[in-house]
Structure formats: C-alpha cells, structure tokens
Amino acid sequence: MLRKNKRRSSVDKAGEKAALPDMTTKGKKSRPNSRQPKAVVQENSDESIFGVFLREAGVLLRQDGTSNEIAVDQVIFQKRMQQQLRKNPRYPAIVQEFIVGLESYMEDPERFQNCLLPCVPQLSDGDSSSVGSFQESLFRLLLGIEMLQALVINTLFEKLPEFMFDSAADSGLNIPRVIVNQLKWLDRVVDSKELANKLMQLVSVAPVDIQRDIISSLPEILEDSQHNDIARELNSLLQENTQLTVPILDALSSLNLSSSLLSEVRVAVMATLSAVQLEDLPVVVKFILHSISTSDTNEVVCDLRRKLELELCVLPSVLQASQSRAKNKGAAGSSIAAIPSSSHDSVALVLDGIKSAVRFQKSISEAWLKAIENVDKADDHKVIDLLVLFILHSTNANHSRRGAERLLKVKVRAGQIQEVLLQKTFRGYAQVMRGYFPSILALAQSLLRSPDSCVVPFGGHMYRHSFTAFDSYCQQEVVGSLVTHVCSGVGGEVDVALELLCGLVADRPSEMALYAVFVKGILDYMDNLSPQQIRRLFHLLSALAFGRQQQGSHIQDDMHIVIRKQLSSTVPKYKRIGIIGAIMVVGSMAARRSKVDGPQGDTLPKETLRQVTGLLDLVKSCSESSPEAAALYYDELANLILTGTLDPQVQTGIGQCVLDDFQDDFVVDLGLDLSGSFPLPACVSYNLDDDESQGGIAVNLLPVLTKDLQHKGEPWSRTEKKACKRVSTLCLSPFFRLLRLYEEQQHQGDLEEIDALLGCPLILTDMGVVEKLDSLSKAEREFLCGLLFYTINWFREVVNAFCRQKDPEMKLKVVTRLQNITYLQTLLERALAATPGYVPPLANFDGESSEAPAVSSSAPPQKKAKKDGTGKKRKAPGKNSSADSSLLEEGADPEETQPEQPEKEKEKEKEKEARQGVSLAAYRPFFRELDLEVLSVLQCGLLSRSLLDSEFHSEVRQDIQLGPAELVFLLEDMLKKLEFSLTAAPAKRAFFLKSKADKSVGFSHLQQKNPKDIAACCVQLLPTLCSHLENSHNHFQTLLSENNGVVDGPGTDVAEHQLLSTAYQLLLQVLHTTFSWSGFSQPEQRGLLKSALGVPAGRLKEGWAELSLDQLVKHSFEYLLNFRSTVPNLSTALSLSQLLTAVAERGGSTGAYREHTAVLARRFLCQEWVTATGERERGIKYNENLQTILGIYLENTDDVLKAVEEIAGQGIPELLNAAKDASSPTWPTLNRQTFLVFYKGMMGELEKAVRKIPAGRSSDSSEVQSEKLLTWNLAVRDFHIMINLVTVFDNRPVLNVCLKYGRLFLESFLKLGMPLMDFSFKKHKEDVQSLLKTFQLSTRRLHHMCGHSKIRQDTGLTNHVPALKKSLEQFIYRVKAMLTLNNCQEAFWLGNLKNRDLKGDEILSQQSQADDEEEEEEAEEEGSQLPPGKSDDEESDSEGLKKDNGHEEGDEEDEITDDSDD
C-alpha cells in the first residue's frame, strides 16, 4: 500500500513538472525548448471527434509521459461533454463514434496509461480558483457521464486482459489494479447488475492477484441492491478457492447483507475453518465474530471454539517452512527462523480479533465464558480456553474479569483445567501471552490467596511458568509478587510462596540471583513467620548466597550480619531465628558435592570447611547461654543431618564429641550409690535388660533434674571443665535425637552402637508416690510432674529412634516402651490434677516459650468449672447433661430428682478425678513429637484380651502384640498429624493481635514433609488400619452375641470397653480424614486415590486393580457399611456416617449413595445408645453428635418434609405420652433432654427445604402449580406442627429456635410461595385458602411468642422480634396484593388480635392497653368485635371461611397493629 502511494505521488510530481511548458504554450509565450513545438503539433494533429469534444469540454490530451490537463472544474467538464453529445445532430450515433475515437486513442499504451492517471489542473495567469487541486483521471471523468458509462466500462474490461499476465509497467503501475480503481465510488452506476456480472466473469478468468484486487473492490464499486447477489457468488467462490479467503471475507464484511444470508455465509466460512491457512486465520475469526447476531452467539462461539485448533498453529520450523507460501516478496534468503515468529504473529492477530469482539459485544464475552464452562472433561479443554480467559480478564469488558476469574477457579477445582494444559500454553505461546502478563499475574495472585486449597497449586504453576517463559521484567514482577505473598502473614499463602521461591532457586539459580535483593527484603518481616517458614526462608537465601555456583554472593555479607545480630540477641525469639538461620546456612555451605562440581571433586574446599566450622562454633557458643537455645541447636543440627546432604567432613566433625558428651552428661553405670539429697527417693526403673544388670547403664534423670533445679535462676553457662559442667534435662531428648540421627547416617540406619539405650533403665523415683499425692508438698508435686514429663519425652524419643529396627527383640522393646508411655500418662494425669497451675518444661524449642502457661493453665480451671456446673446451684441449660430439666414438660416437677442427683454426680466426679485426672490434650505442646515412621508400629497388630484367652492361650506370649491402650495412643497421634497436614484449613488473614496459641507447635518434623508423602504413608497403612477395624468389629460382635445383643452385659470390663470403643472411633476418624484429603481431587493424585480405595474394596472383592474408580467407591462403601451393626456409641456412629459420605464423594455420582446414608443415619437415630455401665448416653458431646446425625439424615433423605412430619407427628407425641425419663419408642434418641436437638435440627432443615422449592411462575402448567402447592401444603403443615410444640416445650432455647427459624420460613414463603399463590388462586382457590388458613394459625402463634418475649424482657429473645414483626407485616400486605391481583380485594378485611402469652391468656398492661386504643383508631373495622378468650381463634377462623380467605389477612393485621409499639 505504501509502495503504491509512492508510485502515484511520483507520477503526480512528473505531471506537475510537465504542466509548466503546457501553460506557457496556452499563453502563446515561446520558450527555447525544442520539444515544445513537437508536442503542439501532435496535439493539433488529433482532430477526431474524441479529441475535439474533449478539448471543447476543457480537457487537453498530452503525451510523452505528461499528464492530461483539465482547464475547468470536473462537473463543468462532464456537463459540457454531455451537452455536446446530446445536441449533436448525429446523436445517438455520435456516442459510438466518440467511443471508437477513445478506443483508437487507447491503442497506444502510453496514452492509455495517461488516461488512467489523474489529470492536472491548467491554471491561467492570476486565476487559480476555477479548478481544484486534485482532479480525477480521464476515464473517471467519462464514467461520471451516464450515457458513456456502460460503453467506457466495456472498453476498459476489453482492454484489461492485455495487461492481465504482465508484470507492472515501466513506471511501476499495476495497470489491472488501476483499471479496477476507476470503477470505485462512482456517483451513480447505471446498470449495477450488469457491472456485477462482468466483474464476476472477470474474476473467473483472472490470475489470483487480480482476483484479490477485484473482490476487495466490490463493496466500493457495487450499489447496495447488488450486495446480496454478489455475496452468494462470493460464498460459492470461497468454497472453491481457499486462496481468496481473505479478500472475500474483507468484501463480505463491507457488504450490506441480510441476516439470513449473513448466517448462511458464516456457516460456510465456519465449515472451511479447519482448512484455512494460518496467515488467513485472523481474518476468518474476525469475520465470524463480527457477523454474529445476539440470538445465535452461543452456538457460533461454541462451534468456533471447537474448530479453532491453535495447537496446530505452532509447529517446528521445518514443517512450517514446508507449509509456508512461496512468496517473492522480501529477500530470497528470508530465514526459516523467522517463520515461527510469523506464526506467533498470526496467533496474536487471532487473539486480537477475539479481544476486539468481546470488548464491544457483551453477548460474545458471555458466550465465551459459557462455552468454556460447558466443557466437562479435562481432555476436551484446549489452549484457546486459557488464552480467552486471559483476554476476558485483561479487557474487563462488561465486567468479564470477575467471570473469568470465577470460571478459572471452578475449572481448576474440578480438575478440568490442569497444569499440563497450562504448560502447553506457555511452551507454545509465550510470545503471545506476554501481552497478557498483567492478567496472568493478577490471576496467579488471586489463586494463591484463595481459601480453597485445590486451586492454590495452579496459581503456583502460573507463577513458575511466567518466570520461566517471560523476560526479565516479568521475572522481577513474579519475584516481587511472591515476596509480597510471603510478607502477608497468611499461613497457607506464605508456605506456597516460599515453596515456589525455593523451587525457582533450585531450577534457575542464575536468574534468581539477579533478584536476591528482593528476596532478602523478607528478612525485615520475620516476626510474622513461623519457625518452619523461617527455615525455608533461610534455606532459600543461603542457597542463593552460598550455593555451589554462588550466583548471589553479593548478599553473603548481609546474611552473615543478620545471623550474627540474631545470635547475639538476648531476646529468645531472635536468638531462635539466629540459630535456625545459621544451621540452614551451614546446610547450604556444607552440602555434599559431586565430582562434576569442581576440580576438587567431592571434597569440600578448605576455606569453605573453615567457614562452616567457625559458624558452627559461633552458634554453639551463643546457644550455651540458655538450655532452651542449646536444645534448639541440637534439634536443628539433627534436622540438618536427617536431610542426608551434609558433607562427610562436616558430619564427622559434628559427631566427634556427640557420643562422648551424651554419655558424660546423662548416662551412668548401674550399681552406683543413689543416696543424695533428692526431693523424692531415687530408684532404678523400667529396665528391659534384666540379664545385663551387672555392668549395665542407666539414664541419670532424677539426679540431673535435681541439680538443675538447685541452680535454677542462676546464669546458665557451660565451662570447659567437665567437673564444673552444668547439664540441663531439657537437652536430654534433643541431644539423644542428634546422637541417634548421626549414628543412622554413619551406619546406614543401624543403631547397634546405641541400642543399649532402648532397654536401659532410668534413675527415677518410686511411682507409687502418685498414690500419696496429698501428702507431698507443692514443690515435690511439681518435681514429680517434671520428672514424669521428662521420662515420657525420653521414651517418645527412644520409640522414634528404634521403631524401624527389624530385630524382633527390639520390636518387643519398642512396644514395651509404648506401654510404659501410656502407663506414665495415666500417672501424669493424676499428678497434674493435684498440681494446679503447674507449667511443664518445654519439649519443642522452635516456638514461643511464653505460650506455655496459657496452654497449661487452661486445663485445671476446666475441671473446676465442670465441678461447679454440677454443684448445688443449677445453671443455664447446655452446661452439662443434667441441666436439661428446663426441657421437661410443663406439668412435670423438675425438683423431684434435685436432692439425689447432685450427690451421685459429686461421687462420680471425685472418682473420675482421682482415677483419670486432667486430660493431656491441652499439654500436647509439652511432649516430644513422634515421627511419622512410628506409625509403622501399628502393624504389630491388635488382639484384645478376651480373644487372647479364648483362642490363643499360652502361644500368645511369644507374639509381639499391641494392646488397646497403645493402639489408642498411636491412633490419637496419627489423627492429630493427619488433621494438621491433610485437613484443608481456610486461609485467614493475620489479626493485628496474634493469638498466643500456635497450632503448629509439636509438628516441626511433620511440616518438613509434603502432604502427598503423608497421604501416601497413610495409604500404605490402610491394610493395617482395616485389620484393626475388623478386629474391633469382631470384638463388639462377639460381645453382643455373648450378651444377647446388650452392650452392658454382666462381666463387661468397662475400662477395656472404653479403650476399644475409642480405638474403633479413632480408626474411623483416621480413615475419614484420609479420604477427605482435598489432594485426591487433583488429577495427578488419581492413582493414589485408586490405591487407597482399593484397600477396602479388595477386602470385599479380589482383583480391584482392574476396577474403575466408581466401582472401587461402590465396593469400599459396601465394605464400610458392614460395620454399622457393631458401633458401640453415637460418636463412633457419627464417624462411620462421615466416613461413608467422604468415600461416596470420591465417586462420580454421590446421589447413588444418598439413600444408603439416610437409611444408616435413621438407623442410628432409632437406636438406643447406652454405655458399658448401662447408663444412657448423654451430655453436650452426645447432643452435638446427635444433631449432626439428624442433619445427615434429613439432608440425604428423599423427602425432607415427610421425614420432618414423621418425627414431629409420631415421635414427639410418643414422647409426650411417655414417662418423664423415658424416650420415644420409635425414636429412642428422642427424649426430653434431646428434644431441643431434634427441634433445632428439624426447623433448620425445614427452612432449607422450602428455600429449594422453585418460585411460582405464570408460565407454569396446571399440573406444575398443583405439585408446588402440594409441596407448600406439606411444608406449612410441618411448620404448624413445629410451632404448636412451643405450647408444651415453652423453655427459652426452644423459643429462641422458633423465633429465629420462624422468621426465615416466613421470608421464604413471601419470596417463593406467594408468587405461586398469585398465579394459582383462580384455578386452585380451595387449596390456596386451606394453605393460608393453616399458615395463619402459625403466624398467630409467632405473634404470641413475640408478646411473651416482651413480657419476659429476655434480650436473647427480643432481638428476633423486630425482624419477625416486619415479616408478619409484609405477609399482610402481600396477601392483600394477591387478592387484588385476582380481583378479590373485597374478601380482605382487618380486625384486632389481642396480645396474648403462650398459654393464650391476654396480656393486660398499661402500655398494651394504650397500644390497643391507638391501633383501634388506625385499623379498618369491618368485622364484628371478637370476644376475649381462647374462642377468638375459632370465631376468627369461622368468619374467615365465610369471607373467602379473609380471616388470614385480618388476623395477621391484628398481629401487626397490636404490637406496633415493639
């Protein structure tokens, strides 16, 4: 285009130069130019009709490359020419003679070319206004004369074939193109149809280049009347010749076509989309999107998305070269390397076309979102889907940004858009996606901040691929955004961002080194980071600064300064940070090297070794200031050795003195004199090596603890002299862990060097002192508690160390140590109960030590509060299981059992406190963490005592077995680990005031493992867990069969029953937590999920590996369902129900299992739950479990309304007729203590159910209206039953539930039910009237509750009243509007409803009387005054029947007017 204009401008300049001598000729001024006379002679010699007429009209023909001249305005020329032809005596023959003259003149190519070029104005001296600066060509001037137009067009078309196959003229003109240009933008086309035919005939024979020129010019040549016809021909031509795709679509886009024809053309274009060449694709897509009508947008966009295969657009360069067109434009050596960029340019143009379409047409953006949303399989998603989402997010046209973000999250959560597709998009279209980087970054930020853990990893993938694929600016933005995430303080967000940064440092260290300064800025925000996050941060920074290539060496000095500053701090928190940071730096500097890393091979350089040794010495000297710091130092060193990446020289240097120091500090020989001034008498305990009593060793715990307490408060320092060396028992477990891990690394897991520590005894005190706690002083009790804590933590570390040993004798000792732990924990519970306010010694040293008192002091007051709650004075309901007297029937006397019950409960409480003491759950942070590998001890098996005696007899002694107490201990620890690592906690913003309790304390080792690895470990343990589950099932099945189906049979061991019940429940909870892991929903974890489901399925059906996922879910569900008959208590039943729900959700269709879940929940609700002692289960926890199971039943049952009516209409009347302490025979879990649970659950589910009823529409058929009316009738009837129960159970909690859910039900009825009444009133008048009549009785009862709440002045109740009164008032006006709509407004009347309490008695007060008088003035009195008393309900009802549904409105209006003062 630029070249064409350039040629034309050069011709114009030549014409202007040639015009100068011509003007002098006309002025008869001679010039010494030899060429001028010759030109004049030639001009005068042309005396044909053609030449004469032109000269007389004002045009002078020139030759020799000079342009023709025009002396008059174009319009004047055309007018003169037309007059000459018309007034000539030989008209119309003169016209043909004129054309013959034109044809003869055109025989000369130079003259013909002259006639195609613009004329130049001929100006006389001093006159420049008569002719414009720009003039048309001679042919354009002649085409503007109607009588000559057809003949001139024929002449041009006859001349055009002469130049059709020639190259451009000498002057650079493309003659065919110039000829076609003569026909553009004519003021009038005499015969447009004929012109169109000739043009299309010419197209059929012309070369491709001329075809393109003609087709592109059609919209500028033809009139609108020919657009439809020419479009049909172009459509046919498009299907025959794909080379003309671009010009044809350009022409079609400019034609004025009918909608039907445009749709036809678009369908044809869409059919050829897959065959379109890449260079033409942007034009095709643009045409399709810009030719869409609103009605067919969705269909067209879906079709376009399906056929648009961008994956085929980016091919290897060789293939692209073979497919590229043979073009002569440009240099002959245009490299193949440039071709990929051209393909990217085409893709970019396609996306630009989509971008412009969605920006200006709302329907197209919505259609793209819908098209992507309708794809339900991951394999069906394509690259274009992600690119379009980025486009929609970047344009934000019609608020599409939010829709794109929402859809991406939904697709990622469902596993339909996966990381593979994202990787393919970045790999092939990075150059195109660069323009959408701000949107990609914003989407990644949103996904990473999402509380949904399923979408967070995808945001991380977007960050990683953006860093990998884009330029340095984008990399800097990615790093800056990740640093912002880390500094946000949100736990999950910080963890993912740090993990991403660590991954980028590992994969691209040289590029990340450029941005090390950005990452270093996180050091200013370490106050918001947890210890594990601080470890990752220093690992990240040390890898950058001290890595093998040391690309980030410019931050080494800053790292050293920060670490030394933290180590020298006297604040424990910052000293901890310094220790952690220094050890992580050591790990990076002293990492094991391979032979390819440098000339020194796998040996650490001497300078580096010197720096590492110096840093370790510095940390060790700084940590000697306190035992907590020293213990943390040992723990961090142990973690470093555990990684297995430490250089052997450094590892040997660390371990040189570990074994000797440990023996000197904590190990003594047996047989030594144990006399001394100890708070409690010393003795040797828990020796498992009886045969080695001579020359054996013992852990010197009690003397070290005594000596440590004697120097408590003194500055803690360690001197070089071993005799004066001070040792703290805090370092016992961390030091042993360091020793054990060092030995494992040195001897490939063999602990033979230290195996004596597994069975060696400890120097403790006689644990019989626990029975004499009352005789001990406070200091002695605290000393005993500390001794127990240290002993338990020692045994926990011993179990950690030897749990993976294969020797049977060691396995037996490990199980014995677990038995020691469980026994010592029972003693510790009793000791803690007798030592209120005791603060245990720290066991995990990477957290805040100030958190300890808050955690420890919370347990004793709980026990005290529980005692007070069962004392003489009865407190508010809900405090304990015996406080349900407020739920007794109104006629019952709750004080009959008052004198006896407290005495019994006091005795039970004292006995429980004496035996069990406080719960150790609150003291979990003060125990050493058990490693995940300890769970392998579960594979030792469980054999209950009763089975041992009856089946195995004496052979059992030779087996390694796990008792119920040890099983419960391990399962509790496993459950806590799984809940911490696999349960997806929603991301929460950090509060300004951070809470003291840190839930991550005690999980430091677990945090260093990936959730996927933890889930895989659980899957490996599933066969063992299923075996334990089956053993528990068999135990209780045997127990039931021996006792004729009764749990509390004679001779039942209550303690064993309780332990096995707890184990049963823990097993189900562990399985539930495992199968509920959100990671199973990720496609890459599908194999692990099938393996997990294959374990329970394989116990029911062999060959599970060949089954599909749905079949595995089915068989697993059936397997777990078999345990329903032996669940010992309600909490276990709830765990089983939740486990079945979690397994069902792993299948494709959860609806198939809803019926089984509902039947199971109903079975549990209809079962009487008793304890091993024969007492009925009760209490707050029991009520919570019961409410959850009731919710599961009502949520999964087919008909919620029918289920509610069954319980309310059958179970509750049975309860009312039963004795005071009895239950409903049909629903044994329903009694007066649990009535509130059932009532609240049923009201809540009833309100949820009516919200799901579709709103009434005028388009509904009569059958649909009848069905909806029937549903609302059932709902209103259930609601009426529930409301009327308040007359019997009139306590405060029931009233509170009734007021809350009554308002919600009323609001749902107004929103969804009343529109149905509007459209159904005429056809179903009786049904509507009956429904409103029933509903009116319920609203009247709600009115009475409002009055009752006001009289009682209960804030908890009156808070619901204003909103409820507002809804009641809206109901009045809504019914009136419904009657008006159906022309029955005369049936509406208003009356007075008096304030009454729950019993129906009128509320008489000065205020209410004043309210009544005021309301009587406002109300419209159309009915007779109702007499006071209970009969007013009946009279208003009968009156309403006469008035065609008028009573509902009147009575409800009474409710409003009577309480307008509220």
Give the model confidence (pLDDT) of 670-699 as tens digits.
877 777 778 888 889 999 886 554 568 899
If DSSP codes are grouped into helix, strand and coil, which group holds residue 683?
strand
What's the token pair of residue 681?
């008498």
What's the token pair of residue 1122?
């078999």
Q: From CA 1304, how far away is CA 898, in angstroms rounded?
A: 38
- Pairing state of beta strands 762-765 and 120-121? unpaired
- List C-alpha distances in Å: 1354 to 873, 884, 1286, 1351, 1357: 21, 19, 17, 8, 5
Q: From CA 1181, how far away is CA 1161, in angstroms rounded?
A: 17
Q: From CA 766, how far away is CA 788, in angstroms rounded?
A: 11
If DSSP codes are grouped into helix, strand and coil, which group holds residue 1244?
helix
Q: Which residues of the chain have pLDDT under 50?
A: 1-46, 126, 128-129, 315-340, 596, 598-599, 693, 718-723, 850-915, 942-958, 985-996, 1406-1410, 1412-1462
- List C-alpha distances in Å: 1052 to 95, 819, 1046, 1058, 1172: 128, 23, 11, 10, 7
Q: From CA 832, how far away is CA 786, in angstroms rounded?
A: 10
Q: Are 585 and 523 in contact (CB under 8 A)?
A: no
Which residue type, as a one-letter code, is found at position 820? N
What Rg value do the Cα atoms of the chain yield, rounded? Answer: 46
Q: What is the pTM of this model?
A: 0.73
What's the token pair of residue 730?
């805090």
What's the token pair of residue 1030?
């089956």
Q: From CA 648, how far away is CA 650, in angstroms rounded?
A: 5
Total number of residues shown for the chain: 1462
Q: Are 43 and 60 in contact (CB under 8 A)?
A: yes
Q: Is the dihedral of CA 773, 775, 779, 780 positive or negative?
A: negative
What's the token pair of residue 1167?
């079962």
Q: Are 531 and 579 in contact (CB under 8 A)?
A: no
Residue with tokens 């070029």: 117
Question: Phi, psi (5° rounding) for residue 842?
Answer: -65, 145
Tell me what pLDDT residue 862 has. Answer: 39
If DSSP codes are grouped into helix, strand and coil, which group holds residue 858?
coil
Q: Average pLDDT, whole number, for the chain?
A: 77
Q: From CA 768, how far away is CA 682, in angstroms rounded?
A: 12
What's the token pair of residue 809?
């004798």
Q: From CA 843, how far away is CA 866, in angstroms rounded?
A: 29
What's the token pair of residue 1124?
């329903």
Helical ranges in 1252-1324 per DSSP H: 1262-1284, 1292-1308, 1314-1320
- Pairing state of beta strands 69-70 and 120-121? parallel
Tell me what pLDDT residue 339 has. Answer: 36
Q: From CA 1351, how far away is CA 78, in angstroms rounded?
A: 103
Tell me what pLDDT residue 790 has. Answer: 95
